[in-house]
Amino acid sequence: MSISKYALNGQELFKVYVHVRSKNNRRVRLQKTVFAITTELEAKKIERKLYKEAVETMAKRDGLGYDWSDIVQYWSEAADRGDFGNKLSPRTIADYKSALNTWTKHWFNRQAAKLNSADGREVFFLMEEEDSARSHQIKVKRIINQVYNWGIENRYIRDSFQSPVAIIHLDKGEEKIPQILNKDEITGFLSQAKASDVDWYPIWFTALHTGMRNGELYALRWSSIDLNKKLIYCHENFCPNTKTIGPTKGRYWRVIPISPTLENFLKELKDKVVKNEYVLPRLSAWTNGTQALHLREFLKSIGIKEIVFHALRACWATQMLSNGVPTTTVMKIGGWRKMSTMDIYVRLAGVEIKGATDSLDFSHPENESLRSAVPNLFIV
């Protein structure tokens, strides 16, 4: 607290300044200033009043805990320290931070304990306006729940027992058929990309012959390829948010067999980039995460339906399944652990139901046979 004198237009005036810090979070403080007080006695009265109000306000604030921005920051610090063990990879942590900063930024100056379901609904209204996919909305809801509940468990959030999005129901919506390319489209796509000498061609070719994820392709080094054994050891992944290379999404390594076509391609590529540590070209657009845009633009230019970059992995999986490779083998090579995810590709390939209706034959018999079988149909 302080009272200071200053002159304005030849008149002596007083200024009162009061500030109170939070007992729970020393970085949080409440400040109040009043100018143009004509007497010192009046300044002292105002100082006492302001201080009392500030103390009461801060006491209420401390009773309810921290702002949402504090919760997000403390959770981030805990995640970066490794407090959650192997449950969250660096990429997942970066995704959580990005989602919270994008969709809950308007909560940052609000006390977390005061956030309610109305605030939660506002988040999803905003996401709807931005045409965010329902699957992404469900993911954001899960992230908010996890971080908010962590705040409650660690006593950063008081007098609140559930997340502001806990009771909000988000149905999965209509399941749409994923957009992928068939064999002829894949062949045409790669042929045109090679003929056009597109910079992305080596990346697209490798993706369609390995089923590797975008980040795994970016992080692929020549030291991880054994051309003698015809194997790729997939154990690293590039995170576009942090621009760092770490473990794969599942945090385990896997082995990908090299086909004769891929083997020839890799040998030719290696001859061109003898001194390069990484297998595929380091395109700036790829580093910046715009690979999906470039893929769609090229497909559109050659008259083939547009797909997202991740769909190249789906194309690989469905082609493998259609060629008779067992589902469990495709899962091992592609790095899937959940059958629910693989089921999407099994349905797309149609391998489980192939030939199931071949025994059905209700074709019309010859005219005479038809007349004898159902004579009443021919009575005029």
Cβ atoms of 3 and 16 within 8 Å: the answer is: yes
Run of H or E including 136: helix 134-153
Exposure of 78 in the CB half-sphere (CA atoms within 13 A): 14
Strand extents, DSSP E, 81-234? 225-226, 231-234
Residue whose structure tokens are 């089923």: 211
Rounded distance between C-alpha atoms, residue 65 and residue 300, angstroms: 53
Can you spell out the DSSP letters for 81-104?
HTTTGGGS-HHHHHHHHHHHHHHS
Cβ-count burial of 229 within 10 angstroms (0-12 exposed, 13-18 middle, 19+ buried)?
exposed
- Winning range, highest mean pLDDT, from 33-47, 346-360, 361-375: 33-47
- Winning range, highest mean pLDDT, from 62-71, 145-154, 370-379: 145-154
CA dihedral 70, 83, 338, 142 (to 10 degrees): -20
Confidence of residue 19 (pLDDT cuts 50, 70, 90): confident
Can you spell out the DSSP letters for 280-309?
S---HHHHTT-HHHHHHHHHHHTT-----T
Rounded distance between C-alpha atoms, residue 92 and residue 273, angstroms: 32
In tens, the pLDDT along 60-115 reads 667 667 889 989 999 999 998 888 877 787 878 888 999 999 999 999 988 899 89
Domain 183-349 sits in CATH 2.70.70.10: no
Cβ atoms of 223 and 234 within 8 Å: the answer is: no
pLDDT value of residue 64: 67
Give the predicted TM-score (pTM) of the model.
Answer: 0.64
In tens, the pLDDT along 236-256 reads 998 877 788 888 888 889 999
Q: Where exactly are the structural domains of the chain?
A: 2-64, 68-153, 183-349
pLDDT value of residue 373: 55
Q: Where are the alpha helices (DSSP H) in 211-282?
A: 214-219, 260-272
Question: Edge-to-edge, what's the strand order for the sheet holding 254-257?
Answer: 225-226, 231-234, 254-257
**CA dist 122 → 110, 152, 171 (Å):** 14, 22, 17
Provide φ and ψ at 234, rounded to 5°: -90, 110
- Range in 76-90, 261-275, 357-371 the model is least confident about: 357-371
Question: Edge-to-edge, what's the strand order for the sheet holding 2-8?
Answer: 2-8, 11-21, 29-37
Confidence of residue 259 (pLDDT cuts 50, 70, 90): very high
Tokens for 96? 């959580």
Tokens for 54? 């500030």
Residue whose structure tokens are 């559930």: 162
Asked whether the CA dihedral 362, 367, 372, 374 is positive or negative, the reply is positive
Tell me which amino acid residue 305 is. Answer: K
In tens, the pLDDT along 179-215 reads 899 999 999 999 999 999 999 999 999 999 999 999 9
User: How far is residue 216 CA from its own chain's centroid?
Assistant: 16
pLDDT value of residue 133: 84
Percent helix, strand, coil in the chain (nearest 5)?
Answer: 50, 15, 35
